[in-house]
Each structure stands twice: as structure tokens, then as C-alpha cells.
Amino acid sequence: MVSSPETPIRVLLADDQALVRGALAALLNLEPDIRVVAQAGSGAEVLALAMEHQVDVALLDVQMPEMDGLQAAAQLREGLPGCKVLMVTTFDRPGYLRAALDAGACGFLVKDAPSEELAAAVRSVHSGGRVVDPQLAARSRGQGANPLTERERQVLSRARAGTPVAQIAAGLFLSVGTVRNHLSSAIGKTGAANRIEAAHVAHAQGWI
């Protein structure tokens, strides 16, 4: 699909940091064939805004409140399949790349990429291409798949925030014993000494 100044690529930006979001929008709006038509501060806002503005490309941060960019990407894949997703994040972790591609993203860039590279990435995914930071792709090839189950990721995410086991159990509608079993399994898979260390290892790898 070819764009032009008369029919620019319609872009949605989602980032919980308003200054970052504004800077990215300003840079992209300098391009004659790209127009930022919607902005979101949370992943929970993405699908409704994307559908309202019929966006062509959504640039999503990975970590956002209420709903992260990976969940938002999965929603877009179901609700607005014609919208291409480009993940743009500060966290260049291989696990995030794999999760983003699994969620249906067409590209993954880190925020310190040059502005012309970002604009080129928008054009590429809009036309059906795939764009991945080459260094991150190389590291990802050397890393296995995320070893954690969905439940293990959920309990580790809460453990990383310092949530007590009883509260984790209540929040996930599980028994305390089940939560402890998930934590024990995650500790073994990450090679950590305890649940806090396991959560930090998993986060550093981009698994949670």
C-alpha cells in the first residue's frame, strides 16, 4: 500500500509518558506522508481509538498501565486486523520481541532509534513489511522461548511488585497453595534463589 501527502498513513501512538508520546508525534508529523491522528496513555484505550480513527499503524509502548502494549496488540489483531502494530519501547529485551511478534506485531524498535528510522519503520509495516531492531533480533535468536506459563507470569508479575502471596491468590482467584506451587516452578525455571529474584530475572529477560 502506497501513501502520499494526500492520503497519509494514519498513526496511533500509545505511551504512558506524555512527553515521550508528544515528542514522537511531533517527529512523525514532520513527515509529509504520515499523520498522527490519535494518542493514548494506556493500552486499554488503544482498540477504541484505533477503531474510531481507523488507523493504519499503531505504535505501542510495551509497558503501560491498565493494559500493556502486548495485550493491546493482541486486541488490535482481533478487533482491527487491518491495523499494523509497531512496538516502540525503552526495554530492548529479547523476551519482549518474541512476545510482541506472538501478539501480532509487525515490528519492534527501541525508542533511541533515529527519527528517520522510526518513520521508515512506519512506512515499511504499513506496506506489509516487518521491521525488527537487528541487534535485538540477534540476541533473541540466542535465547529460547519464554519458559514460564501464563499463570507463572501472572504470579511473578505480582510478586515483583511486592504483593504478599495471600493477596496474589485472592487477586487471581487461586488458593495460596496453588500460588506457592506456581512460584516454586518459576523459581526453578529461572534458576533463582527466591520469588523476588525470579521475578527480577524474568523481568530482565522480558518474560513478564
Map grid coordinates 502494530 to a residue. Answer: 85
The confidence score (pLDDT) of residue 115 equals: 79
How many structural domains compose the chain?
Answer: 2
- Of the residues 91, 111, 141, which one is the last residue of a structural domain? 141
- What are the tens digits of pLDDT across the range 69-110? 888 998 999 999 999 999 887 766 666 777 777 788 888 887
Mean pLDDT of 133-151: 65
Range of the domain at 113: 9-141
Do 128 and 190 reside in the same domain of the chain? no
Asked if residue 45 is part of any domain, the answer here is yes
Q: Name the residue with higher pLDDT: 35 or 191.
A: 35
CATH number, position 174 = 1.10.10.10
> Are 25 and 73 members of one domain?
yes
Average pLDDT over residues 170-193: 87
Cα–Cα distance, 112 to 66 (Å, whole number): 25
**Rounded to 5°, angle at Cα 71 from 170 and 126:** 175
Q: What is the pLDDT of residue 142?
A: 46
Q: Is the pTM of this model over 0.95?
A: no
Which pLDDT score, from 0 to 100, does residue 37 have? 97
Question: 55 pLDDT band (50/70/90 cuts)?
Answer: very high
Examine the fold and report which residue of 141, 166, 184 is the final residue of a domain before the chain moves on: 141
